[in-house]
Amino acid sequence: MTPTKKTPTTWPDYELLDFGGGRKLERFGAWLLDRPCPAAAASEPAEPLAWPQATARYAARRAAAGNWLPSVGDWAESSYLLPAPDDLRFTVKLTPLPSGQVGVFPEQRSNWGWIAEQVQRARRPLQVLNLFAYTGGSTLAAARAGAAVTHVDASSSMVQRARQNAQLSGLADCPIRWIVEDAIKFCQREVRRGRQYDAVILDPPSYGHGPQGQAWSIQRDLLPLLKLCSQLTTTQRTFMLCTCHTPDIGPAELSAYLSEGLFGHCSQPPRCGQLVLPTTSGQKRKLPSGTYARWPK
């Protein structure tokens, strides 16, 4: 099986301008941001004159601790409304989160389109479960296409931002359940209740903690979680999507995880590939930005 690559469609308010030296230079609307990117460690910047123009640079001795420079006085007020394709809206904030995260992962744009296609193709109302749902990109894509969504994330602040994004996108009245919970505990409870979903979307981190301090390790916990997802979709499974940004898990490995979790074997391999972000100016290059596995092909 040959992995395929998925690149986002044109996004007027977002651009990857350059990358290299372990960093990437991106434009979010009026903001030009310079922030860490481990996937860019092996390359050199192609547009060195563009970097000094950055609005802000995230400086950190390690990924989990850093600050934006120059410092913006009140972080809570430093935000930008980012229009996205398909009438979605995101609040981008320069908060001192790990690696300078700003509240949206542009590399997921291609998956948002795929999710919408699957929901519309079903020609019936779907119940979609979105785990590790962050600020709601996949939730909004599924809801916009007509699905009822259960949005689960361990961070109450991220769930609140997802709700704000839904309101900004005109989706506040859509059937979305907002849940602050550990993904595994939530799925275990849903299995006990006999709940069934048509589709599951998940974008697990390499490591993390639930709201009650539950430790998460993707190497240890992903396969058991996917087996729970299999139980939650036994009777009406329509599609599954798993993405990750863990360096040790490539497309083939993620595909094997998903196939083993859903079917207990690898006779139905999902489509897998690498998420990439293309630069929009100067030398046309592509930045590896994670992996995906999805079923059906």
Same fold, 8-97 and 106-295: no
Q: What token pair was written down for 96?
A: 């001192």
At residue 196 the predicted structure's pLDDT band, cuts being 50, 70 and 90, is very high
Do β-strands 79-84 and 88-93 pair in parallel, antiparallel, or remain unpaired? Answer: antiparallel
User: What CATH number labels 106-295?
Assistant: 3.40.50.150
Average pLDDT across the chain, whole number: 89
What 3-state class would DSSP assign to 17? strand
Residue extents of the structural domains in the chain: 8-97, 106-295
* Residue for token pair 């802000």: 56
233/231 Cα distance (integer angstroms): 5
Rounded to the nearest 10 degrees, what angle do helices 137-144 and 109-122 cross at? 30
What confidence tens digit (pLDDT) does each residue in 247-268 have? Answer: 889 999 999 999 999 988 766 7
* Position 62 pLDDT exceeds 80: no
252/278 Cα distance (integer angstroms): 22
Q: Which of 45-49, 56-60, 109-113, 243-247 has the lowest mean pLDDT?
A: 56-60
At residue 283 the predicted structure's pLDDT band, cuts being 50, 70 and 90, is confident
More confident residue, 77 or 154: 154
For 8-97, the fitting CATH number among 3.40.50.970, 2.60.40.1180, 2.60.40.420, 3.40.47.10 is 2.60.40.1180
* Position 65 pLDDT exceeds 90: no
Give 166-231 as a DSSP string: HHHTT-TTS-EEEEES-HHHHHHHHHHHT---SEEEE---SEEE-TT--EEEHHHHHHHHHHHHHH
Model pTM score: 0.92
Q: What is the mean pLDDT of residues 156-161?
A: 95
Q: What is the mean pLDDT of residues 214-243?
A: 94
Q: What token pair was written down for 230?
A: 């299999």
